[in-house]
Amino acid sequence: MSTTASPITRASTGNAARIAGFLATRAALALVTMWLLSVLVFAGGQLLPGDIGRAILGPLADARAVAALNHQLGADRPPLTQYVQWITHLLRGDLGESYAFRQPVAPFVGAALANSAKLGLLAFIVVVPLGIAGGVWAALHEGRWLDRTISIAGLSATVVPEFVSSIVLILVFGIWLRWLPIEATAPPDAGVLEQLRHLILPVLPLVFIFFGYIARMARAGTVEALDADYTRTAILKGLPAHVVIMRHVLRNALLPTITVAATQLGYMIGGLVVVETLFHYEGIGSLIFNAAKAKDFPMLEGGVLMVGIVYTVANFIADALHVALNPRLRTGGEE
């Protein structure tokens, strides 16, 4: 960590190589993680059910029908053979065929992912500035009632499950006040604004969940930066308060916040399961939920795997951002 010795004299080419090396290591680790993820998902979807045919057909089905289905699905072969076949197909972009739709899984997952990205991105655009503003504002009033109010409100918003906040929002804004539509999907001929209007209610529960996280990180970072020697020096130099805050405090405080924000992008998908199901939105979350309900394992595996990949990639990007934005971290050692 502490190789901060004269960063200025360090040759910039050496720096670039170091950054490249760091990113390469991170990328390799991300690949290993994704491979392990595939093992995990395979184990969960193919091995854990034990008897897939039985799981699909139910306890009352004829044993011969179960055996025939198992044979047809390839579930009667040794696990390793199954895994090798599964992963080679996967690498070619073939996620298998849905039990429920009798069609390849990949297009479903792709379309769902695009829809979810829309929802997630919208939530993200709203919550990141809001969370940062809330956190910084709280930090600047550290220990006073404003700080406590923001902190407690943020904590509460973060820990209440999405389905609870969604239901309350639907009840208040959709049913009592009738201000907003409670279906996330607008009619096909609707304009962009109308589509956005349909997305307001579904986005809010996601915003609630992440407001607390981001505000908390921003607050902690700002409090730390306000306390740092460089801030004291800047103040003692006689710089005006807004310059100190903008240049010295926020620059240092927001870096960890941005990293956390990027990591949360992947986690947001966990919340999408509930939100998309409740608001009838055809995204990756509702795809996973419906596949789990129907015991459509190829679909379920495809969806879950995609979530894991998105998360891992988001994490990698967060790491890269962290390095790119933080001159002190261009040494390769993190945490």
Partner 1 sequence: MSTATPDTSPAPAEPAVQAPPPTPPRAQEPRYERLLILLRSPSFVVGALILLGWVVCAIAGTWIAPHDAYASDPLNSLLPPDHTHWFGTDQLGRDVCSRVIVGARDILTIAPLATLVGTVTGTALGLVVGYFGGWVDNVIGRAIDAVLALPLVIVALLALAAVGASDLTVILVIGITFMPITARTVRAAVFAERHLDYVAAAQLRGERAPYIMFAEILPNVLPPIIVEATVRLGYAIFSVATLSFLGFGIQPPSADWGLALSESYTLMAGGAWWTVVFDAAAIASLVVGVNLIADSVQGVIDR
Residue 91 φ/ψ, nearest 5 degrees: -65, -25
CB of 64 to partner 1, least distance (A): 23
Cβ burial of 123 (10 Å; 0-12, 13-18, 19+) is: buried
Please select the residue that binds partner 1; options are 32, 61, 114, 324, rule is CB under 8 A. 32
Please select the residue that binds partner 1; options are 17, 20, 24, 40, rule is CB under 8 A. 40
Contacts with partner 1 by CB under 8 A: the residue count is: 61
Residue 253 φ/ψ, nearest 5 degrees: -80, -35
- 68 token code pair: 């025939």
Which residue in the block uniquely carries the two structure tokens 């990293």? 259
Q: Is 109 in the site for partner 1 (CB under 8 A)?
A: no
Alpha helices in 58-191 (DSSP H): 63-73, 79-91, 105-140, 145-159, 162-169
Q: Is 49 in the site for partner 1 (CB under 8 A)?
A: yes
Cα 63 to chain centroid distance, Å, stands at 42
Cα–Cα nearest to 132, from 244, 319, 260: 260
171-190 residues near partner 1, rule: CB under 8 A: 171, 175-176, 182
- Degrees to nearest 5, angle at CA 275 with 274 and 281: 115
CB of 175 to partner 1, least distance (A): 6
Nearer to partner 1, 96 or 308 (CB): 308
Nearer to partner 1, 231 or 286 (CB): 286
Across the strands, what pairs with 104? 97
- 6 token code pair: 């004269």
Contact string 141-170 vs partner 1 (x = CB under 8 A) = --x----x--xx-xxx--xxxxxx--xx-x
Q: Is 278 in the site for partner 1 (CB under 8 A)?
A: yes
Give the Cα separation of 236 and 230 in Å (integer). 10
218-277 residues near partner 1, rule: CB under 8 A: 219-220, 266-267, 269-271, 273-274, 277
Binding stretches for partner 1 (CB under 8 A): 29, 32-34, 36-37, 39-41, 44-45, 48-49, 55, 143, 148, 151-152, 154-156, 159-164, 167-168, 170-171, 175-176, 182, 216, 219-220, 266-267, 269-271, 273-274, 277-278, 288-289, 291-293, 295, 297, 300-301, 304, 307-308, 311-312, 315
